[in-house]
Chain A
Amino acid sequence: MALPNFVLIGAFTYRPLIMNIYYSTLNWTLGSASATIVGFGNYVRFFTSDAAGVVLTTTAIFAVLTVGGSMLLGLLVALALNTKVRGQTLARASVFAPYVLSGVGVGLVWLFIFDPVYGVLAYVLRRFGTESPRWFNDPTLSLVMVIVVYVWKNLGYCAIVYLAGLQSLPADVMEAASLDGASTLRRFWHVSLPLLGPTTLFLLITTILSSLQAFDLIKIMTPTSQGTRTLIYEAYVQGFGAYQRAGYSAAISVILFVFLITLTIVQIAWVDRKVHYS
C-alpha cells in the first residue's frame, strides 16, 4: 500500500539526487550534447571563487533573519492572538493568509510597493519629506527588502503553530504557576516557553528548511540577485540563468543539500539532550 509512495520518492527525488551528483562532476553547458568530466573540479571552483564568500554569507544572513524573524514575531503574534477578544478569528485568518498565497503573486505586489519612484512606500515617504531608500539598487537594502517580504509571508505559519502549542499547554501546570504568584512575564519565560520546546524544534527545522529553499520571492523581486544571491538562487543562475553551466550548478545544489542534512541532524541531536516533553 505504501509502496507507490516509496517508488515515487525513489524515482523523483532520489534518482534525480544521484543524477545530479553525477552532473556535478561535469563541465557541461546546458543545451550542449556533450560534456567533459572534471570530477571535483566544480566544487573546487566554487569554494575558491570570490562568489563563494558572498553567497554563503548572504545565505547565512537570510536564513538567520528569516527564521529568527518569523519565529519570534510568530510567537509574539500567537500570544496576542491567544485571547478571547472580538475579532480574533479575523485576525487569525489574516495572519495566516499570506502564507497560502503564491510567492509569485506576493512578490509582484511588493515590487510595486517598494519601487522608489511609483511605489506606495516611496509616496508616503515623500509626503514626509524624505526620499525612498534605494531598495533595488543597494545590495544590502535588497536583502533587507526580501527578508521583510519573506517574513511577512511566513510568520503566519509560525504564529498558527505556536498558537496551537500555547493552547495545548497543560492547564494544570499553568494554573499551578499562576497560583504560585508568578507574574505573567516570569510565567511565560520559565513555564510556557520550555513547554513549547517541541513546537519550537518542529518550527525551527521546518522554517530553516524552507528558508534555505526560498526561491520564488527572490526571483521575482531581485532577478539579478545582487545582494540576495543565496545558495539556491546561485545554483539557479549558474545553471538556468545567464551562465548556463549545468554541471557547476549541480555541484552547488549538492552543497546545499549537504548543508540541509547536516543542519537537520545537528538540530535533532542537540534536541535529544535538551527538550522537555511533558
Chain B
Amino acid sequence: MSLATVKSSATKTETPGGSSAPGRVSAGRRRRILPTILGGYLPLVVIVLVVAVPLGWMILSSFKQVSEIITLDLRLLPQRWSFANYTEAFRTAPFGRFFLNSVLVTTIGATVKVLLAIHTAYALVFVRFPAKNVIFVAVLVALMVPPQVAILPNYILIAGMNGLNTYWGIIVPSLGTAFGTFLLRQAFRSLPISMLEAAEVDGAGHLARLWRMVIPVTAPSIATVALVTIVSEWNEYIWPLIITTDPNLMTLPVGLTLLQNNESGPAGYGVMMAGAVIVILPVLAVFAFLQRYIVAGLTAGTASN
C-alpha cells in the first residue's frame, strides 16, 4: 500500500507557490484501519453535530408558538407546526426587502472590492512606481483600524453628502479593501517573473497580462478573497445600522434586530427565531450548494504565504 501512495504523491504537480493545482486533493496519507473509525469517523460526527444541533434547534423553534419556546418544559418538535412566526416577521418588517438589499449591497460591494484588490495587488507587484513598500505598509496598517474609529467621521462625511438611507452610502465607505490586497499581493509575488516578462516582450500591456495570465493562475487565491469579501459584506452590521433609518434600505442583519421591542414581554421571541432563520438560511443554502468548490478552492489556495 505504501508504494502506491509514494508513487501517486511523486506525480503530483506543484506550482511555484507550493500549492497543488486547484481541485486535486493530496492523496499522500496512509490508510489506517481500526483507528479510522475512532480517529476518522468519530471526530467527523462530533464536528457535524456541534454545528448542526444549535442551528437545527433554531429552525425547529421558529415553527413553535411562543408558549412552547418560553417554557421550562422543552420539547424537541413543535406540538403544532405553525408558520405564524414567519408571517408575523414578514408583516412586522419587510424581510423580502431586507433580503434584496443584502443581495444588492453584497453583489456590488464584493465585486468592486475584489476588482480593486486584484488591480491594486497587481500594481504593487508588477508596476514600477516610487515608495511602493511604504504604500503597502500603509495598506496593511489600514487593516488594523478598528471599525469604531471610522464610524462617526464617515457618518458625518456621508451624511453631509446626503448619503443617508442610500445604497451608495451603505456600499462606498467599505469599498477600500486592505485584506484582499494583502492576500493577493502575497499570491502574485509567488508567480515567476519570467512568465510575465515573456509576455511583455510579446507586446502585451499590463491589463492583458493581468487578465490573461495572472488571474487564471491565481484563481484559487482570488476565489478565497471573493468568498471572504462576500461573507463579510453580507454580515456587515454596524455601518448599515448607523447609516440607514429607513427599513426599506436596511440589510438583513440590521433588519433582524428590528424584531425586538422594548417592554413587549416575551411574545416577540418566536418571531425573532423566525427572523434569525431568515437571516441565516439563505447564506447556509448558498454555502451548502457551493461548498465543494469553496472548500477545495480554499484548501488549494491559502497555503501560499
Contacts and interface: CB of A to CB of B under 8 A. Distances in A.
Nearest to A124: B74
Contact of B298 (A94, A161, A170): A161
Looking at A6, A120, A216, which has the most chain B CB atoms within 10 Å of its CB? A6
Interface string A1-45: 110111111111111110110010000000000000000000000
A168 B295 contact: no
Query: Per DSSP, are chain A's interface residues mostly helix, strand or loop, or mixed?
Result: helix
Contacts of B280: 101-102, 105-106, 109
Interface in A165-209: 165, 167-168, 170-172, 174-175, 178, 198-199, 201-202, 209
Nearest to A252: B148
Interface residues of B, number: 102
B59 to A, nearest CB: 10
B262 interface: no
Interface in A78-126: 80-85, 87-106, 108-110, 112-113, 117-118, 120, 123, 126
B1 interface: no
Contacts of A141: none
B172 interface: yes
Interface stretch (B40-48, B86-94, B192-200): B40-48
A152 B50 contact: yes
A164 B187 CA distance: 15
B150 A12 contact: yes
B54 A161 contact: no
Given A1-B123, A96-B291, A164 B299 contact: yes
A50 to B, nearest CB: 22
Nearest to A89: B292
Contacts of A198: 305
B116 A93 contact: no
B154 A6 contact: no
A4 B299 contact: no
Interface residues of A, number: 94
B148 A253 contact: yes
B107 to A, nearest CB: 16
B34 interface: no
Contacts of A85: 36, 40-41, 44
Contact of A112 (B40, B61, B148, B152): B61
A143 interface: no
Interface string B260-283: 000000000100110010011001
Contact of B303 (A4, A16, A81, A168): A168
Looking at B122, B279, B302, which has the most chain A CB atoms within 10 Å of its CB? B302
Contacts of A118: 69-72, 74
Nearest to B260: A108
A254 interface: yes
Nearest to A236: B148
A12 B43 contact: no
Contacts of B150: 12-13, 16-17, 20
Interface of B: 6, 9-10, 12, 18-20, 25-31, 36, 39-41, 43-44, 47-48, 50-52, 54-55, 57-58, 61, 69-72, 74, 116-117, 119-120, 122-124, 127, 135, 138-154, 157, 172-178, 181, 206-207, 231, 234-235, 237-238, 252-253, 256-257, 269, 272-273, 276, 279-280, 283-284, 287-288, 291-292, 294-295, 298-303, 305
18 contacts: A9-B142, A12-B154, A13-B145, A16-B152, A17-B150, A19-B152, A81-B47, A85-B41, A91-B48, A98-B51, A101-B235, A102-B237, A164-B19, A167-B20, A198-B305, A239-B148, A239-B152, A253-B149
Given A14-B145, A102-B253, 18 more contacts: A6-B135, A8-B116, A9-B139, A12-B150, A16-B154, A80-B43, A83-B36, A94-B52, A97-B288, A100-B284, A102-B280, A106-B280, A160-B302, A163-B299, A170-B18, A209-B143, A212-B146, A235-B146
Interface of A: 1-2, 4-17, 19-20, 23, 77, 80-85, 87-106, 108-110, 112-113, 117-118, 120, 123, 126, 152, 160-161, 163-165, 167-168, 170-172, 174-175, 178, 198-199, 201-202, 209, 212-213, 215-216, 232, 235-236, 239, 246, 249-250, 253-254, 256-257, 260-261, 264, 278
